[in-house]
A = this chain, B = another copy of it.
Amino acid sequence: MVEHEDRLSRVFSALADPTRRDMVARLAAGDATVSELAAPYDVSLQAVSKHLKVLEDAGLVSRSRDAQRRPVHLDAEVFDLMTKWIERYRQQAEERYQRLDALLDRLQGRDNDESKDKGAAG
């Protein structure tokens, strides 16, 4: 449980940075080397490597053992961990809103009935 919690924290934390989200976006289109990933940014290879380390620790990317290129690969399955968490609570919140709406409709329906009764009586 705690391990799972920590993993989720690491994934959310890794994606809380625009440069890292941008890297994930580019890796979704295809594997890339560190130099390829660094090209569009005005930062050092070292800074890019640090960002990759954070993504790697969160399980979002992995690197091939190919010693020459070591392309970075997106492990998109980790997204499931997040979407499951989000969907669970979004659904719960939505169901609650729907119940509230239904309750309001019923209350309003009763008010209408009461007005009608009053109208019939008067």
A→B interface (CB under 8 Å): 5-6, 8-10, 12-13, 15-18, 21, 24-25, 27-30, 74, 76, 79, 82-83, 85-90, 92-94, 96
Contact = CB atoms under 8 A, between A and B. Distances in A.
A49 B85 CA distance: 23
A82 B30 CA distance: 22
Nearest to A82: B86
20 contacts: A5-B18, A8-B21, A9-B16, A9-B18, A9-B21, A12-B15, A12-B16, A13-B13, A13-B16, A16-B16, A25-B89, A28-B92, A30-B96, A74-B93, A76-B94, A79-B89, A82-B82, A83-B83, A83-B87, A83-B90
Contacts of A25: 89
| A contact face: mostly helix, strand, loop, or mixed | helix
Given A28-B92, A79-B90, A82-B82, 4 more contacts: A6-B18, A8-B21, A13-B16, A29-B96
A9 B17 contact: yes
A58 B18 CA distance: 15
B89 A24 contact: yes
